[in-house]
Structure formats: structure tokens, C-alpha cells
Amino acid sequence: MKPLSRRAVLRGVLAGSAVSVALPPLEAMLDVNGEALATGEPLPTRFGIWFWGNGVRPEQWVPETTGAGFTPSEEMAPLTDLLPYVSAVSGCTIKTATHPHHSGMTGIFTGKRYYELGAVRDTIATTFDGPSVDQFAADHFAGQTPFRSLEVGVTRFRGSDEGSTFQHLSHSGPNRPNPSEYDPVALYNRLFAVPADPQRDLARMSVLDAVTGRVRKLKTRVSSADGLRLDQHLDSVRTLELRLAAGAGACAATGKPTTHPDIDGREQIAEKNQTMSELLALALACDLTRVFSVLWSTAGSGVIVWQAGADESLHGTCHEEALPQPTVHAATVFTMENLATFLRILRDTPEGATNVLANSSILCCSELTDGWTHSNDDFPLLVAGHGGGRLVGGVHHRAPLWDNATRATLTALRGAGVPAASFGEDLGLVTESFSELEA
């Protein structure tokens, strides 16, 4: 069997334009044990962020037990089957805090205070005072993949005039956000280099049709196991195409090229999260990028989690619902169910002898501890993935009160193989990661 380059792609022509289908890791690309590339280089590791807005209910979030094999709390329960890949950190605070939503966003993702743009109504408008941590990682991985980073959004932004801090996660610097892609069709087209064409119908025109001949030729060069893996990969691509085509058709009458349109005014959150998660897993498995961010909901979280019985924004519910806030609790559980969907898809995406989640390091967090008090103390922090063997899962580390939350950021960076000596500045500066989470 002749070795195959990890950079190999299937190329074709669709509607007069070149398209490409990246390949998953095949046996022909790996060493005999499936633990490294055929060239001897290690399998790629990735750095990611999964963010949700407006915090948790601390009383139902923080696990009662600590150490390895901890028992998940009520709000972490959806992650139970994923605990071998997920560790929790509690007891930390945002040291740069002076304005909770803004401080939490910029504190955890830059290790710095926000950059204030001015007063707005009874609050402020801000932006990030430097690159976010995903772009720090992107600098390390620069030039190794077609996409420097991918930014994905799930629940739509419902409006705020408080600056880019409230609308965006990834930033390259002050007032230089990297906006998230909220349209699954647009993300699909970007990944496969499909030309923008509002008349194109995914149900009739598939990128797979454009590379059929290449697929046949490739199958003559690889093992039967690789042939099966290739078929499974292309089947998953086709399944996504059909789902996106159905979604686009459903809203064709309105002229909007979006998928998973609202039904009776309600966002189809879980369905969109599933599709976006599958697209991102495809991009990671095919090494199209090694850095990503998922903005499940924005800071302040205007999302209406109707699945939890809410009829107004989560931000409003956090302010107005009486303690113990059962709707907020149910919304947090629903959010963790969506995180579990994403992590499960990565775990179930094979990569050599292991899987994509095992070769990832993902910082999962919010910008507040909870929306009732707007506190930045006892910040909700999860680190998911094994980072290619650098991280362990299934640990709850209770840090000394009040340790610096950016230590979790540094832990996730190093878990992805980014050789960061430190992270942050001034009060947010840290030089030590959480060794309890490291292998």
C-alpha cells in the first residue's frame, strides 16, 4: 500500500468552478499503529472554545465531590458519558473584573481587562483589548491548515449596543472581531470551496458528483479498510448535504438562504447545533483547521430557551425569575445537552487508533458565574479532550479560593500543544496551568 499524504484531497468541478473534498485520516496516511502520520509526525491536535452566555446556577453546577472519578452535578449530568474526556475546575475568579459581562468575556479569553469604548445608556460599550486566546493558538498553528481558524455560531444574536464584546467571541484585536458563521449552508460551501450561487440546489448538485472519478481512482490505491472509511466519510458528507438542502427548501418561500428556520417563532436550537457540530467535526477530521470557536450563545445571552419553558430571553429570566430559578436551571441543563452533542460527535469521529476529541483541547465556559448576582467568582470552567495525550479527563479540581480563572485558559492552550509560557497581563497574568488536569 503506497503512503498517502495527509494533505490529499479530492478535486472536481461543480457548476464551472473548482471544488474540493478533504479526506479523513486513512490507514495509508498513518503509521502501522495508527498513532502518528506515515511521515512520523504526530497526529494533529486542536485548540477550541465552546461558549455559552449568562452563566449557570452555581448551587446546581459545582460538583460535590472532587478529584478523579468525581460525580457530576445536576447541571453537568448531560456530560456523564463524556466524563473520561471532561474535567471541571471550580473556585476560580476573573481577576480583571470591574463590569461582570465585559470582564468575564475579556478576562477569560485575553487575560486582560476590556477596552472601554464609552458609556451606553446605564452601562458601557467595550471591545477586546488584544487577540482572544483562539487567535493566540492560531498563530502557533499558522500555515499548517487551509483555514487559520473557524468561528461558528448557533443561537442568533438578539441585539445589544455594548460593543463587540457582547456580539463576538473571537477577536484579532480591539474592534477587530472574527464574526461567527451562523448559516450551516454557508459554512458547508466554505469548507468545500463551493461557489456562492443562490440558485444552487444541494439536493440536485452535490460536490460528491464532482469527484466521483477521483473516488474510484483513490479506492484502487488504498486498502479495503480505507475504502470502507472513505465510503463512511462520503456518506456523512451526503447526509449533511441532504439535511442542508431540506432546510434551505423549507425557507425558500421567504427568500432567506438559512437552514433550520424558526418554527412558530421558535429557534430550532438543538437541530442547528447538531448540524453545525457535524460540519465542524468534518473540518477537524479532515485537518482543514486546528483552531475553532463555537459561540453557542453570546454574552448576556438573549436566547429564548423555550425548551426549558422560557418565554423571554435567558438574560431577562436570570434577572426576574425568583430563586431557586428552575427555568434558568433547566436552560443550563439544555445548554449542557448541546455541549454533550458536540463533544459526542467529536468522540465518535475516528482518527487513527483514537478519535478527534482525544486529539483536541477545548475550553468550555461562560462569561458569568450566574446571571442572578452577575458574579465573576467561582467561574464555571470545563476543559474537554485529551489533547493528544497531554490532558486527563474525569477530574474535578477545586482551586484555592479565589485562584485565577485564566489558569484554565493556559491549561487548555498547553493541552493543545501550544508552548505558552504565560497568558494574560497584569492581574490576569498566569504562568502556571492546572497540573491536576494534565497527564
User: Measuring CA to CA, which residue among 347, 190, 336 is closest to residue 273?
Assistant: 336
CB atoms within 10 A of CB 256: 11
Average pLDDT per consecutive 10 residues, the chain (439 residues; last block may be shorter): 69 69 80 74 92 97 97 98 98 92 97 95 93 98 94 90 95 96 90 63 64 82 84 83 62 43 92 94 93 97 95 94 97 98 96 94 97 94 97 96 95 98 97 97
Sequence letter at residue 207: V
What does the alpha-carbon distance between residue 240 and residue 43 come to, in Å, rounded to a whole number? Answer: 26
The domain made up of 46-190+274-437 has a fold known as: Alkaline Phosphatase, subunit A (3.40.720)
Return the axis-axis angle of helices 269-285 and 224-250, rounded to nearest 10°.
150
Contact between 339 and 364 under an 8 Å Cβ cutoff? The reply is yes
pTM reported for the whole predicted model: 0.90
- HSE (side-chain half, CA atoms, 13 Å) at 305: 25
pLDDT at 164: 96
What does the alpha-carbon distance between residue 305 and residue 157 come to, in Å, rounded to a whole number? Answer: 13
Sequence letter at residue 266: R
Strand, helix or coil at 383?
strand
What does the alpha-carbon distance between residue 153 and residue 399 come to, in Å, rounded to a whole number? Answer: 31
CA torsion, points 367, 372, 373, 375, in degrees to nearest 10?
A: -10
pLDDT at 12: 75
Strand, helix or coil at 102?
helix
- CB within 8 A of 316, min separation 6: which ones? none
* Domain edges within the chain: 1-42+199-256, 46-190+274-437
- Widest CA span of the chain, in angstroms? 67
Nearest 5°: phi and psi at 271? -65, -45
DSSP 238: H
Instruction: Spell 210-242 as b/e; 16+ CB within 10 A means b.
Output: bbeeebeebeeebeeebbebbeebbebbeebbe
Distances (CA, A) of 436 to 267, 339, 352, 439: 39, 23, 27, 8
DSSP 69: T
Q: What element of type H or E holds 331?
A: helix 326-347
pLDDT at 313: 94
pLDDT at 248: 45
pLDDT at 13: 67
Per-residue pLDDT reduced to its tens digit, 379-413: 999 999 999 999 999 999 999 888 999 999 999 99
- Cis bond leading into 25, ω under 30°? no
Per-residue pLDDT reduced to its tens digit, 36-46: 777 777 889 99
